[in-house]
């Protein structure tokens, strides 16, 4: 009942399991023989309005995740798993018993309403209907493989619910009227559950109208499970159960927080509260064993639906070779998604009565701004770790004045670059625009 690492139970011959691969726009894991395919960020996928393509991307992630797991590929927190199991330091050699699992903590189907959030790139749309359709399409693609007996993978839609604030996220209370809650903040989840039959849900850090979402039985049991028919597992976001005590002050102790969350339908704790307090909660009479049994059943049923307790010999999902990862077919799909997500916002004539597009052969373009040469950031926050570094050229992070100066000088020459870029500091070679933006294109009209 603990994520990321659920320990083995030797007396029952139950192996360890690692919960929660991130697959926001491709499986975020280390490389095997090949590296997982990345595709455009969700904000671009939403702009495609193509649910057939979204379903294909989900299927691609599910197939690649199965193959990488068969190669015993692991996530970045593997050293921490060693610490949990052995008590050794994080430099301990990784233990292979619980490399990547087959459930992904994606997609993020929160609503893109406030540009100050900071995670806007991670969600598909400001429209609840479109976001729900995308969530359902991802679920169909990621979960439904060629073996109808078992799920290809388990999608875990997040963050449930009304979550789009990062500051004080363990203590923030989202106050939302019932109409807005139903029409805006819950609608995408309803579609993803009912139309996509998603097998996992992640409850969020925040409270909703005074009750932490992971400890809200009405939200999780009455609405999600009883009314909507959700029959999968629920995990907390990382540290959210601790937040019931430390942030929201909703529970007076960790045993009480564990009891509240399990009774409210949160089966998995991404953190350490369940591991150290569930047994005590039962002894103190805070938690019934029957309620605990239901949570354990949800967790193990999820693994059973993946075929992890059945013989692998006749399971097609257990025979994907390394060649399916990063294949030419998957790269073509990613490129097609990139093209379909491009959006032209304006193409107005300039003072010379010319439009910026279409470009003519030989025309020069300067890419200006703090993200103009940032290879790592432009790959997105969550991507597969390629053996070939993204930092061989360009900057690894934002604020790269040298790249800006180089681009501008190539177009206009040094003196003209000073004039076009409103302020130029020769001592630090820093570039400051009057109207800063993440990236701008300056197109030579001549």
Q: What dihedral do alpha carbons 23, 27, 28, 29 form, nearest 10°?
A: 140
CB 207 within 8 A of CB 170: no
Phi first, then psi, for residue 386 (nearest 5°) are: -75, 150
* C-alpha separations of 141 from 60, 100, 343 in Å: 8, 19, 25
Element (H, E) at 367: strand 365-368
Give the bridge partners for 432, in sequence order.
423
Instruction: Tell me which of 27, 216, 237, 373 is the catalytic residue.
Output: 237
Residue 97, classed as helix, strand or coil, is: helix
**Distance from C-alpha of 377 to C-alpha of 386, rounded to nearest angstrom:** 14
Phi first, then psi, for residue 130 (nearest 5°) are: -65, -45
> Active-site residue 237, yes or no?
yes
Which one, of 275, 261, 254, lies nearest residue 203 by Cα? 261
The count of C-alpha atoms lying within 13 angstroms of the C-alpha of 160, restricted to the half-sphere facing its C-beta, is 31
Residues assigned a catalytic role: 237
């Amino acid at each position: 009942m603990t994520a990321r690492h659920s320990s083995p139970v030797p007396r029952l011959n139950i192996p360890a399991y690692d919960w929660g691969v991130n697959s926001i726009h491709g499986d975020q894991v280390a490389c095997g023989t090949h590296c997982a395919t990345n595709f455009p960020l969700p904000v671009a996928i939403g702009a495609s309005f193509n649910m057939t393509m979204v379903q294909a991307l989900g299927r691609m992630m599910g197939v690649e995740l199965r193959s990488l797991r068969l190669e015993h590929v692991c996530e970045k927190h593997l050293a921490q798993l060693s610490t949990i199991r052995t008590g050794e330091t994080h430099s301990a050699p990784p233990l292979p018993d619980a490399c990547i699992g087959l459930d992904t903590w994606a997609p993020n189907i929160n609503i893109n309403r406030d540009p100050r959030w900071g995670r806007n790139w991670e969600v598909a749309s400001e429209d609840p209907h479109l976001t729900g359709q995308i969530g359902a399409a991802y679920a169909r693609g990621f979960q439904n493989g060629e073996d109808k007996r078992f799920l290809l993978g388990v999608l875990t839609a997040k963050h449930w619910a009304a979550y789009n604030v990062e500051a004080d996220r363990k203590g923030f209370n989202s106050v939302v009227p019932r109409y807005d809650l139903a029409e805006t903040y819950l609608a995408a989840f309803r579609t993803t559950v009912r139309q996509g039959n998603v097998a996992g849900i992640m409850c969020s850090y925040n409270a909703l109208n005074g009750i932490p979402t992971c400890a809200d039985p009405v939200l999780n049991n009455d609405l999600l499970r009883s009314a909507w028919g959700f029959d999968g597992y629920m995990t907390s976001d990382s540290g959210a159960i601790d937040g019931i005590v430390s942030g929201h002050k909703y529970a007076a102790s960790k045993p009480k927080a564990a009891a509240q969350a399990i009774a409210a339908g949160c089966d998995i704790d991404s953190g350490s509260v369940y591991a150290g307090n569930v047994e005590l909660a039962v002894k103190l009479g805070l938690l019934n064993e029957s309620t605990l049994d239901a949570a354990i059943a949800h967790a193990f049923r999820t693994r059973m639906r993946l075929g992890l307790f059945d013989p692998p010999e006749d399971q097609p999902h257990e025979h994907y070779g390394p060649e399916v990862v990063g294949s030419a077919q998957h790269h073509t799909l990613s490129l097609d998604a990139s093209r379909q997500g491009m959006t032209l916002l304006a193409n107005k004539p300039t003072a010379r009565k010319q439009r910026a597009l279409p470009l003519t052969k030989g025309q020069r373009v300067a890419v200006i701004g703090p993200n103009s040469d940032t290879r790592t950031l432009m790959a997105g926050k969550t991507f597969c770790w390629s053996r070939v570094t993204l930092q061989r050229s360009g900057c690894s992070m934002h604020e790269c004045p040298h790249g800006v100066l180089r681009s501008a000088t190539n177009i206009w020459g040094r003196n003209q670059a000073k004039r076009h870029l409103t302020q130029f500091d020769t001592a630090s070679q820093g570039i400051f625009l009057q109207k800063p933006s993440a990236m701008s294109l300056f197109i030579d009209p001549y």
